[in-house]
Amino acid sequence: MALTLENVSIRLGGHALIAPFSLSIAAGETVTLMGPSGAGKSTLLSFIAGDLEPPFEASGSLSLDGADLAPLPPERRRIGRLFQDDLLFPHLTVAENLAFGMPRKNRAPRIAAALADAGLEGFGDRPPHTLSGGQRARVALLRALLAGPRAMLLDEPFNKLDQELRAAFRGFVFGHIAAEGIPCLMVTHDAADVPENGRVLLLKDTLVTHA
């Protein structure tokens, strides 16, 4: 499973926001995208997820394992997305949050196993507001992963966590992505977030270059 962008460019209000570039992310690989605020990083993730709207205009091709994604609406792309302040549904329990978007088969045991794996054994029946920020962040990631995504987009996913939690949570996230064998594009401002030996791209002044 590889995520491939070919000659992708994005315009905003008649100006280039991102000049044409190409990128292929391999199965299990996390590529990091860095760059100044307002450079267009989140916009690029929206293009990949399929929910980019005017005034943005994109061109170029996007494929997953060789299959063109352009004709597919966001929900049929099966691309997971995790934002820096991902919200859990407050009126649902942790387990109900995790069940959201999951295939029906073996749901309960898969949820229990995922919670145990995340150090959250027995948290299934709790409402999200009784969890710490770091615990909620883990649940949000599990929810994205359990939905069976074919690729993952992370937008500053560790920002809300304190330093100690960041290190543990990073290992947890990259471990899952590698184990699931899905390509991942991560936006971050913190060089410490970059996985070991991971590729880093810089988006600056419309240009995407290798950092």
Binding site for ligand ADP (CB under 6 A): 12, 35, 37-43, 55
Residue at shortest CB range from Mg ion: 42
- Give the list of residues 6+ apart from residue 210 with CB closer than 8 angstroms, or none: 199, 200, 201, 202
Site string for Mg ion, 42-71 (x = CB under 5 A): x-----------------------------
**Residue 109 binding: pick among Mg ion, ligand ADP, none (C-beta 5-8 Å cut-off by kind):** none
DSSP state letter for 180? H
Amino acid found at 120:
L
- Give least dist CB 190 to ligand ADP, A: 14
**Residue 134 binding: pick among ligand ADP, Mg ion, none (C-beta 5-8 Å cut-off by kind):** none
- Give least dist CB 5 to Mg ion, A: 18
- Give least dist CB 36 to ligand ADP, A: 7
Work out whether 159 is an interface residue with Mg ion (CB under 5 A): no
- Give least dist CB 41 to Mg ion, A: 5
**Residue 55 binding: pick among ligand ADP, Mg ion, none (C-beta 5-8 Å cut-off by kind):** ligand ADP
H helix or E strand, kind and range, residue 110: helix 107-117
**Closer to ligand ADP at the Cβ: 83 or 174?**
83
- Give the list of residues 6+ apart from residue 86 with CB closer than 8 angstroms, or none: 137, 140, 144, 157
Paired with 80 in beta bridges are: 152
- Give least dist CB 42 to ligand ADP, A: 3
**Closer to ligand ADP at the Cβ: 55 or 71?**
55
**Nearest residue to 128 (alpha-carbon basis) of 141, 115, 137, 119:** 137
Helix, strand, coil percentages (3-state) for the chain, rounded to 5, are: 30, 30, 40
- Give the list of residues 6+ apart from residue 207 with CB closer than 8 angstroms, or none: 19, 21
- Binding interface with Mg ion (CB under 5 A): 42
